[in-house]
């Protein structure tokens, strides 16, 4: 059973955007401050990666822990809802399958793919060292 009414839930869900969310903006800001230049949401690449370094053939996806089902220890945002299981199981499993397909397609084209999770952006300095190593 949902904790809030259907009207409020609908309003919450309609406010969720596909791009330019806080975690993505945090990663982009961190990279830009350090002098890295990139492209965003390249429509010609599978999955429209959030951040793309074309010359280095590196694509970065910034995934929301809930929508893309992050199951790491310490991440509580990746848990599945307890109501409307048939809907959410299909929806979230479909998201994960689509992510895997897009990553495989990019790697087959010679791209290095990195997934940054929403919970990782909360400790941007730790994430930053990982990104620096990737971009060297």
Whole-number Å distance between alpha carbons of 103 and 89: 21
Percentage of the chain lying above the pLDDT 70 cut: 93
The model's confidence at residue 74, banded by pLDDT at 50, 70 and 90, is: confident
Q: Out of 8-12, 15-19, 77-81, pick the least confident.
A: 15-19
**pLDDT value of position 17:** 65
**pLDDT value of position 1:** 56
pLDDT digits over 75-110, tens only? Answer: 888 788 888 889 889 999 999 999 999 999 999 999
Mean pLDDT across the stretch 45-64? 96
The model's confidence at residue 9, banded by pLDDT at 50, 70 and 90, is: low
- Going along the chain from its start, the domains and CATH numbers come out as 17-135 (3.40.960.10)
Q: What's the pTM?
A: 0.84
DSSP string, 19-77: SS-HHHHHHHHHHHHTT---EE--TTSTT--SEEETTTTEEEEEE-TTTTT---TT--T
């Amino acid at each position: 059973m949902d904790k809030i009414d259907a009207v409020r839930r609908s309003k919450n869900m309609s406010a969720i955007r596909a791009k330019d969310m806080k975690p993505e903006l945090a990663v982009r800001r961190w990279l830009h401050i350090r002098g890295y230049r990139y492209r965003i949401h390249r429509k010609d690449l599978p999955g429209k990666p959030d951040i793309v370094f074309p010359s280095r053939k590196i694509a970065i996806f910034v995934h929301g822990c809930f929508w893309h089902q992050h199951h790491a220890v310490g991440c509580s945002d990746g848990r599945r809802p307890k109501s409307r299981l048939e809907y959410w199981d299909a929806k979230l499993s479909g998201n994960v399958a689509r992510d895997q397909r897009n990553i495989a397609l990019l790697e087959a084209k010679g791209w290095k793919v990195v997934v940054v999770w929403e919970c990782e952006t909360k400790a941007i300095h730790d994430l930053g060292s990982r990104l620096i190593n990737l971009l060297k």
